[in-house]
Chains A and B, each alone.
Chain A
Amino acid sequence: MIRVVLPPHLRTLARVAGGEVTLDVPGEVLTRAAVLDALETRYPMLRGTIRDHVTAQRRPFLRFFACARDLTHEAADAPLPDAVASGAEPFLVVGAIAGG
């Protein structure tokens, strides 16, 4: 099982209690695309809120962190750190600190 931390507004939208989501992600190698696919399958209402429905591009004000690293600009099919794959560390979806 891997762990995903969502921004508070998306936790509310997905009706997730607590701070983390745990997901079973299929595949030999854990990638960001696989994590988001699994997340959107479990929580269909999140489709379109993290990445575009059609292009699957990341929404501009969201970033992806893990293991104290900014993975936002890594390829979507690049392997995520082993610590994320093992569940030792969470994969974080983070909203930019901006706005009113």
Chain B
Amino acid sequence: MSGVRVLVGTRKGAFILTADGRRSRWDVSGPHFAGWEIYHLKGSRVDPNRLYASQTSGWFGQVIQRSSDGGKTWEAPGGGVTMEPGQGPKGESNKFVYDVSPQTGKPLTTHQWYDGTQHPWEFKRVWHLEPSLTDPDTVYAGVEDAGLFRSSDGGKTWQELAGLRGHGTGPKWQPGAGGMCLHTILLDPSNPKRIYIAISAAGAFRSDDGGKTWRPINRGLHSQYIPDPAAEVGHCVHRLALHPSRPNVLFMQKHWDVMRSDDGGDSWREVSGNLPSDFGFVIDVHAHEPETVYVVPIKSDGEHYPPEGKLRVYRSRRGGNEWEALSKGLPQRDCYVNVLRDAMCVDTLDPCGVYFGTTGGQVYASADAGDSWAPIVRDLPAVLSVEVQSLP
């Protein structure tokens, strides 16, 4: 019987939640990497037992972890203990070094700092790991300060795709309140050369040559918090989503506004419609219905909790504009949690399962496309990310 494996990253470790296809009885394993911040875990589509995890700490920095058995055991791909000096692995799986100019050896570019001056890029952590759709040893990492790295050797070494910072707008990028992070990576399943990414607070970008060159795709976005509300870059995009069968259609939860593009990001239009608030972080698309979209409205940028203290997922079956509240099984009073940008996902079973995690430590699951919800776990540390694997 088919099943699902939900990968949960939290402020104090990772948890793996498994169930059969009914998705009603759950086994919980963890904490893995107890005490560390786990920004994100994700599995390979071509080898579901290959998982990658981003483990970070204010004390010890970034660690990349890899599993080849579905999360039962983990290893730092940089290598294990060695007793032979000079013979062992080089321990580079944690090494994220930005490219420098080949001519001068100096940083490729600088970005805008809080005081208006230019500031060099400084690596802080990996926010998001996106395994290749075709090769389990290839994985992309979205990092803070915003950059995109790729490993082609299962996470042992990382190389920057520096064309993203080098295309000209880098000096205009600036950190949002959560840092200047590259948090979204979407690989186009129909076109291996096309990659979408999003950065807070710079906006969305697209590559059509496998990550070598990039251009901003923010036309139609309107953000009151930047001097030119329709600027080419500077928008605080929180999340992008697409349906694999129709990768030219993108959905975006921006700082404020839910947006839609029907041309691969060349232009955007607002589809917030009747949402009680169009501020939020997550957005995702139903696995079998490309026009069915989910968001979790948050009251405002100054009040990061659901409107009226009611935790509600909103679903549009028309690709936006017309939204219905989904509240069955979710707390409808005194709820003041947040749902962070990487903390919603869908499985590919039928009916489609939808999952999200909260800063209050709950992970909710719906096995009926959002009609009803139940908590899988209630008392985890604050949830940073939720991914799900549909298993044969």
Which A residues lie within 8 Å of B80 (CB)?
15, 44-45
Instruction: Please measure, in the bound complex, the distance between the C-alpha atom of A43 and the C-alpha atom of B94, giving whole angstroms.
Output: 13
Contact flags A1-33 to B (C-beta < 8 A → 1, else 0): 000000101101111000000000000000000
Instruction: Please measure, in the bound complex, the distance between the C-alpha atom of A50 and the C-alpha atom of B90, giving whole angstroms.
Output: 15
Residues 65-100 of A at the B interface (beta carbon under 8 Å): 95-96, 99
Beyond the given pairs A10-B60, A44-B88, 19 more chain A to chain B contacts, judged by CB atoms under 8 angstroms and listed by A's residue number, are A9-B59, A12-B34, A13-B63, A14-B81, A41-B82, A42-B83, A43-B81, A43-B91, A44-B80, A44-B89, A44-B91, A45-B93, A47-B95, A48-B94, A53-B94, A54-B95, A54-B97, A95-B59, A99-B59
User: Are B61 and A59 touching (Cβ within 8 A)?
Assistant: yes
Contact flags B85-118 to A (C-beta < 8 A → 1, else 0): 1101111111101000000000000000000000
User: Are B61 and A99 touching (Cβ within 8 A)?
Assistant: no
Interface of B is mostly: loop
A17 CB, min distance to chain B CBs, angstroms: 11
Which B residues lie within 8 Å of A50 (CB)?
60
User: Are B82 and A42 touching (Cβ within 8 A)?
Assistant: yes
12 A-B residue pairings within 8 Å (CB atoms): A9-B36, A13-B60, A41-B86, A44-B80, A45-B63, A45-B91, A48-B61, A53-B92, A59-B59, A59-B61, A61-B59, A99-B58
Residues 24-41 of B at the A interface (beta carbon under 8 Å): 34-36
For residue B62, CB closer than 8 A to chain A, the reply is yes
User: Are A42 and B81 touching (Cβ within 8 A)?
Assistant: yes
A7-B59 in contact given A13-B76, A44-B91, A49-B94 (Cβ < 8 Å): yes
A44-B83 in contact given A9-B36, A59-B61, A95-B59 (Cβ < 8 Å): no
User: Are B35 and A45 touching (Cβ within 8 A)?
Assistant: no
Query: Residues on A close to B: CB < 8 A?
Result: 7, 9-10, 12-15, 38, 40-50, 53-54, 59, 61-62, 95-96, 99
A1 CB, min distance to chain B CBs, angstroms: 13
Which B residues lie within 8 Å of A62 (CB)?
59-60
A27 CB, min distance to chain B CBs, angstroms: 12
Closest Cβ neighbor of B97 among chain A residues = A54
Which A residues lie within 8 Å of B83 (CB)?
42
